[in-house]
Homo-oligomer: A and B are copies of this chain.
């Protein structure tokens, strides 16, 4: 799993066209508007299919750590295939994204999830402080690869 965490003043989206792998969504998921959020752009990868529970657990840990540091008010999970060139099946991606949402809700976080498989218009405002843009590679193994200093800095 690859995640890109953006501490945002706001994120707004609305769905446009469906793709062939779009999830069915209720009316209320057709658009969303969130303030003071940690937006978690997320790509589920092929290798996550082997042990999804462990990957989800490690992702949740990482998200909570950043959330607490930046003092965001809510978490928005945003499916984002462009972060990886080795994607899982769409079915597995939907399953893992929903499990992440549920796991974070169960821990008491205010969480929203943006629909999978739809073309979407979106607006985002990234705050720009040093922790407002971070990326992570999440593995099933308990000790994730530490992010290279270069990767944080050279943007």
Interface residues in chain A, defined as those with a beta carbon under 8 Å from any beta carbon in chain B: 2, 4, 14, 16-17, 19-21, 79-83, 85, 87, 90, 93, 116-117, 119-130, 132-133, 135, 137, 148, 150-155
A2 to chain B, nearest CB (A): 8
Q: Which of B17, B19, B119, B151 contacts A87 (CB 8 A)?
A: B151
Q: Which residues of B have CB within 8 Å of A129?
A: 16-17, 119
Cα–Cα, bound, A80→B153 (Å): 10
Known: A79-B154, A151-B87, A155-B81. A121 touches B117 (CB 8 A): no
How many protomers of this protein does the assembly include? 2
Cα–Cα, bound, A123→B119 (Å): 19
Q: Which residues of B have CB within 8 Å of A130?
A: 16-17, 119
A151 to chain B, nearest CB (A): 6
A117 to chain B, nearest CB (A): 6
Known: A81-B151, A82-B155, A85-B151. A16 touches B90 (CB 8 A): no
Cα–Cα, bound, A130→B119 (Å): 6
A50 to chain B, nearest CB (A): 19
Known: A19-B153, A87-B148. A82 touches B4 (CB 8 A): yes
CB pair B123–A125 under 8 Å, yes or no, is yes
> Which chain B residue shows the least CB distance to A155?
B81
> Which chain B residue shows the least CB distance to A13?
B128
Cα–Cα, bound, A117→B153 (Å): 6
Known: A4-B82, A82-B4, A85-B137. A155 touches B117 (CB 8 A): yes
